[in-house]
Amino acid sequence: MKNKPVLYIIIPCYNEEKVLPITAPLFKQEIMKLINRNIISVKSKIMFVNDGSKDQTWNILCELAKKDDCFLGISQSRNRGHQNAVLAGLMESKDQCDITISIDCDGQDDINAMDSMVEEYLKGNEIVYGVRSRRDTDTFFKRFTAESFYKLLNWMGVEVIYNHADYRLISSRVLQEFANYKEVNIFLRGMVPLVGFKSTIVYYERHERIAGESHYPLSKMLSLAFDGITSLSIKPIRMITGVGFVIAVLSFIGVLWSFVEYFIGETVNGWASMTSLICFIGGVQLLCLGILGEYIGKIYLEVKARPRYIISDRTYTKTTICEEENK
C-alpha cells in the first residue's frame, strides 16, 4: 500500500458567492473524513480557483483561508473560462501534493465519490474518472445533446470517457507529464486520456445545483463542444476532402451529361435547376471554408503561445513537498 498521499481538491469558481458558504464546509467535511480514515495526509488541502469573478467570491475565499488553513485560494487576473481555471489549479498544485481531485463548486457532483477515487488510487490507478451513472436530473434536451456529443467525439476519433465531465482524480506523476502539453485551446476531458497511465472509473449520481444559477449556458456548452472536436480531431477536414471529391465527381458527370444533351438537341433552359446547383455548391464551399477557418484560427492562437492562465493573487505562499520535508 502506498504512503498516505497529500490530496489537493481543485475547485474552479466563477461568481459563486451564493453557493460557496454552503459547499465549502461540505468539502472540508469530506477531506476531514478521508484524513480520519487514515488514507490521506493531514497536509491535504482544498484549493479554490477564482476565475475572475465579478461578485464577492474572492473575498469569501480570502475569509475562508484566513479562518482555516485547510483552504487555499488563487485568483486569475481575468475570466478565462472553466477549463483554464481547472488547469490553473492543477498546474499550481502539482508540486505541492501527490494527488488532485477536480470538482465543480456547485455541489452537483457527489462529493462522497472522492472516497472511492482515493481508494482506487491506492490500488495503483494514476487517473480515476468520475462518471455519471444516470442523467435523471437533466432535461430531455440536455440529456440528448450531451449523450450525442460524447458519441460524436468518439466517432471523430477523440478519446473521451462517456458521461465524464471534469470530476476526476489525477496523480502528480501524471500532472508532471501533462505539463508538457502546451496547447492553448484546452479540452481537458479529451486531453487527459492522451497522457496514458493506468486508469479506472468511479460511478456516481449527479444532483441538482445546491444554490445560485448555472454559469454554463447553451452557448458555452456549444463552444466547448466545438473546441473539443477541432482541438483533438482532424476528421472534419478529412470529411471536407471526401465531400469535395464526391461533388467534383458529380460535377464532372453533370458536365458530360450536359454535353450529351446539347449534342442530341434536347437541352432546355432551366433556370431553377441551375440556381439550385449553384446554391448547393456555394453552400458546401462556404461550410467547408468555415470549418477550415476554425482550424486556421486555432493554429493562429497556438502560434502566439499566450499564457493559458495568469495568477494575480493567492492566499498562501507557494511551497513544494520537497521544501516542506526539508524544513
The model's pTM: 0.71
Using the structure block, give the residue that is written with the C-alpha cell 461568481: 15
The domain tally of the chain equals: 2
| Among 231, 230, 128, 126, CA closest to 182 | 231
* E strands present in the chain: 7-13, 45-50, 71-76, 99-102, 127-132, 164-171, 199-204, 311-314
Range ranked top by mean pLDDT from 221-225, 226-230, 287-291, 318-322: 287-291
Do 183 and 268 reside in the same domain of the chain? Answer: no
CATH classification of the domain holding 20:
3.90.550.10
Query: Is residue 93 located within the same domain as residue 12?
Result: yes
Q: Is 243 domain-assigned?
A: yes
Q: In whole angstroms, how far apart are CA 295 and each of 95, 240, 245, 317?
A: 34, 13, 20, 40
Q: pLDDT at residue 23 above 60?
A: yes
DSSP 264: T
Three cell numbers written together for 269 = 433552359
Task: Read off the pLDDT of residues 45-90 as tens digits, 9 standing for 90 and up.
Answer: 999 999 988 989 999 999 999 998 899 999 998 888 888 899 999 9
Asked if residue 225 belongs to a domain, the reply is no
Residue ranges making up the domain that contains 300: 235-304
Confidence of residue 260 (pLDDT cuts 50, 70, 90): low
Which strands make up the sheet holding 7-13, listed edge to edge?
199-204, 127-132, 164-171, 99-102, 7-13, 45-50, 71-76, 311-314
Domain match, 111 and 259 both:
no
Q: Give how far the C-alpha of residue 48 lies from the chain's centroid of Cα atoms, to the nearest Å.
A: 17
* pLDDT tens-digit map of 88-123: 999 998 888 999 999 988 878 888 899 999 999 999
Q: What is the pLDDT of residues 138-190, one digit of tens each?
A: 666 666 666 676 677 667 666 777 777 788 999 999 999 988 888 877 778 77
Do 299 and 313 reside in the same domain of the chain? no
CA distance 312 to 161: 33
Q: Percent of the chain scored above 90 by pLDDT?
A: 27
Residue 2 lies in a domain: no
Same domain, 187 and 246: no
Is residue 50 domain-shared with residue 123, that is, in the same domain?
A: yes
